[in-house]
Amino acid sequence: MATPSSIHIVCAGGYLQCTTYLIDGPEGAVLVDPGSSSGEEEILKNIARLGRKIEDVKYALLTHCHVDHALGAYRFREMGMKLVSSRYTARVLRDGGREVWYEYPEWVVPTQVDIVANNEDDLPFCGLHILALDTRGHTPGCMSYLVGVEGGTAVFTGDLYGAGGHLSWSGSDGFSVKSTLRSLEKLCRASPDWVFTGHGPVPVPAAEWLSEAVRKGRAGEWVVDGRFHPNDVPDSRLRVVPPQQRR
Ligand SMILES: [Zn+2]
C-alpha cells in the first residue's frame, strides 16, 4: 500500500516517543503529535531534509495528552506552531494530572493549546481539508484527524487502536472499552483509505483494519490491561490481564 506522497514520517518513535507525521499542504505543513521531545532533534532534521523550513510548519495536531505524544508540544509552540487539540487534552496540558501519564502526573510542562477542536470541526489549515473527529476511548479526550490527500483520505488516530490489530494500552485514566468501540465504528463510517496510528502506519487497507477491530471489539476479544482498573471493563467476555503478567 503506497503511502500518499504528502504524508511523511518525521520520527519513527523511540524512548517515550510516538510516531510523528508531517502533512504537506498547498500553503504550509502540519505536524501530527510532536511527541515527548526525545524525538525533537530527529523531527527537525527530517523537516529540513524534506526541504521545509520550520516556519512552514504552522500547526501541530494533538491526538491526545499522553507524554509520548504531547509532552514536547510546548517546544514546537515556542518555534511558532499553533497547537490544536480537544478541550479535554487542552485542559490536561494546561493543568497536568494523572491523565498525562499514570505514574508521573508531574511530567507535563504546562502548555497553552491555541485552537480547541470539537467533533466534526473543519480545520482549514495550510490549504488542507482536515476534519476533527471525537474518537474518545483510549483517553476521554482522544481526537482523530481525517485529512484529504491525493487519491483519498487519511486518518490519524493516535492510540485508539494498535496498528498491528490489537487494543492499545488501556490503563489511561478514563479509558473506556465502550467508547473505543463507538469511536472505531465512527471511523468505519468515515471510510478512510489510510490509517496512521500513533505508533506507525497501518499496513493493510483501512477498511479491513477498521472492520476487524470492530469485529474483535464486539466479540469481546480485546485484551484489556488490568493494572489500573479501567472504568468500564467488567464485561465478562473481555480478557483482563493481571498486572504481574505484564512487563
Ligand atoms: Zn496514549
pLDDT score of 234 = 45
Query: What is the grid cell recorded at 120?
Result: 466534526
Instruction: Tell me how far apart the alpha carbons of residues 14 and 38 are, in angstroms, rounded to a whole number.
Output: 8
pLDDT of residue 80: 97
Measured in Å, residue 73 CA sits from the centre of ligand 1 at 15
Amino acid identity for residue 160 in this structure:
L
C-alpha–C-alpha distance, residues 13 and 198, integer Å: 9
Cell digits of residue 17: 516517543
Point out which residues pair with 153 in neighbouring strands.
148
Counting as low any pLDDT under 70, the low residues of the chain are 1, 101-108, 226-247
Close Cβ partners of 164 (under 8 Å, ≥ 6 residues apart): none
CATH topology of domain 7-245: Metallo-beta-lactamase; Chain A (3.60.15)
Rg (CA), the chain: 17
Q: For residue 62, how far is its CA from the centre of ligand 1 (angstroms)? A: 11
pLDDT score for 96: 79
Q: In this structure, what C-alpha cell is assigned to residue 27?
A: 500553503
pLDDT number for residue 10: 97
Compute CA 232 distance to the chain's CA centroid, rounded to the nearest angstrom: 22
Taking the centre of ligand 1 as the mean of its atom positions, its distance from the CA of residue 68, in whole angstroms, is 7
Q: Which residue has the cell 502526573?
A: 105
The dihedral region occupied by 120, where left means phi > 0, alpha psi between -120 and 50, and beta the remainder, is: left
How far is residue 90 from each of residues 45, 61, 84, 236, measured CA to CA in Å? 27, 11, 8, 34
Angle of helix 177-190 relative to helix 206-218, nearest 10 degrees?
A: 150
Q: What's the gap in Å between 51 CA and the centre of ligand 1?
A: 30
Would you state the pLDDT for residue 247? 37
Short-list 135, 217, 145, CA closest to 179: 135
CA of 29 to the centre of ligand 1 (A): 24
φ, ψ for residue 130, nearest 5 deg: -120, 130
- The confidence score (pLDDT) of residue 51 equals 96
CA 144 to ligand 1 centroid distance, Å: 13
Which pLDDT belongs to residue 16?
Answer: 84
Sign of the alpha-carbon torsion through 195, 13, 162, 158: negative
Please count the other Cβ atoms lying within 10 Å of the Cβ belonging to residue 118. Answer: 10
Q: How close is the Cα of 85 to the center of ligand 1, in Å?
A: 14
Asked whether 209 and 154 are in contact (CB, 8 A), the reply is no
Cβ 84 vs Cβ 60: under 8 Å = yes
